[in-house]
Amino acid sequence: MAAESRRQDVPLAPLTTLGVGGNARWLVPWRDVAELRAGLAFAAAEGLPWWLLGGGSNVIIADAGLPGVVLQPAGTALRTVTADGQTRTVSADAGLGWDALVAWSVAEGLGGIECLSGIPGLVGSAPIQNIGAYGQEVAEVITAVEVLDTRDGSARSFSAAECGFGYRDSVFKRAPGRWIATRVSLCLRAAATPCRKYAQVAEALPIPPPPGAIGLLQVRQTVLALRRAKGMVVDPADPDSRSVGSFFVNPIVAPAVAEAVRLRLAAGGAMPAWPVGDQLKLSAAWLIEHSGLRRGFGDGPVGLSAKHTLALVNRGGATAADVLAFAAQVVTHVEAASGVRLEREPVLLGF
């Protein structure tokens, strides 16, 4: 991509789903490793810091903007690497829209990511926090992640095991700024039986669900409907989708802590919890609601979504400072009520 594609003083808020943040001094798109190296070299030559911005669906950009070089993946190629009748391994550029990949896989009758429909952002971001929803995680299908090491400009490929995937975690997330994903390879199942792990998805499907593209499409449509009902599908016509999706990570705690929370907030009654090794994962949305904060809470430019308590919504005219102040209010309230401190999921840029 020619140097002429660089743009100066670019507003970044429109490039994010939350719609806050200042300008980038430089916005530099890149399609491949060579162009990414050129973008990093440009930043070094100008003596400027750099940031990576994908689909802007999991970031909060500072109101002062990013006074350096913002690198944005622009490659969208998708190709089949291997196929044997039972599986097909595909390789996608980092700049391809994640949901575009899911829609293509469903149309091809390839299973493995159908429950990840409607998740915004780009393919290159998927491995960073091991995106997951409705019974699937991308770690289950990733075979390799091609990256650039920003320390020395070398390119390498991480196997799935080397990615160190965990719940919303990876080796890339644990070393922020070092690795930039350029391509992701996934092994998808041909003529697959659709995933029915999540109760609401299973209830919407016939028994047995049809294999292949028809069943996968039914799962995709069900997941999109579930996400849309929660304001979790980016839609300009839906003000509740002006968010980063789930703002807080579901906390993982010791069983004793979970029991204490159950006694405090559910009076000893039922509380959603899922085993993760020898610990339990709690529902951040449940904690918020049972701490006394309801959907639509907040009377300023930022509030809880009217559809889902886990989303913080820019109601119009909000700043990044407004978002973080409101998030801190939620965290303090939930911790006082439950004893559990919620952790932020979106990444801060420029703070």
Q: What is the model's pLDDT at position 1?
A: 52
60 contacts 244 by C-beta, under 8 angstroms: yes
> Where does the chain have alpha helices with state H?
33-46, 98-107, 199-203, 212-229, 255-265, 284-290, 320-338
192 burial type by CB count under 10 A (0-12 exposed, 13-18 middle, 19+ buried): buried
Catalytic residue (one of 31, 168, 196, 242): 168
CA 202 centroid distance within chain: 23
Q: What is the model's pLDDT at position 125?
A: 95
289 as an active site residue: the answer is no
First and final C-alpha spacing in the chain: 29
CA 285 centroid distance within chain: 17
Catalytic residue (one of 241, 246, 291, 305): 246
Q: How many CB atoms lie within 10 A of CB 63?
A: 16
54 contacts 121 by C-beta, under 8 angstroms: yes
Task: Report the C-alpha dihedral over residues 173, 232, 91, 150, rounded to 10 degrees.
Answer: -30
Tens of pLDDT, residues 72-88: 999 999 999 988 989 99
As given in the structure block, the two tokens for residue 169 are 């975690």
CA 316, CA 239: separation in Å to the nearest integer? 9
123 contacts 96 by C-beta, under 8 angstroms: yes
Task: Tell me the β-bridge partners of 281.
Answer: 252, 274
168 as an active site residue: the answer is yes
Longest C-alpha distance within the chain, in Å? 63
Catalytic residue (one of 108, 259, 335, 345): 345
Domains of the chain with CATH codes: 3-73 (3.30.43.10), 78-229 (3.30.465.10), 239-349 (3.90.78.10)
Which residues in the chain land under pLDDT 70?
Answer: 1-4
CA 250, CA 29: separation in Å to the nearest integer? 33
246 as an active site residue: the answer is yes
Q: What is the model's pLDDT at position 3?
A: 64
Taking CA atoms, 259 is separated from 167, 249, 264, 271, in Å, by 21, 19, 9, 9
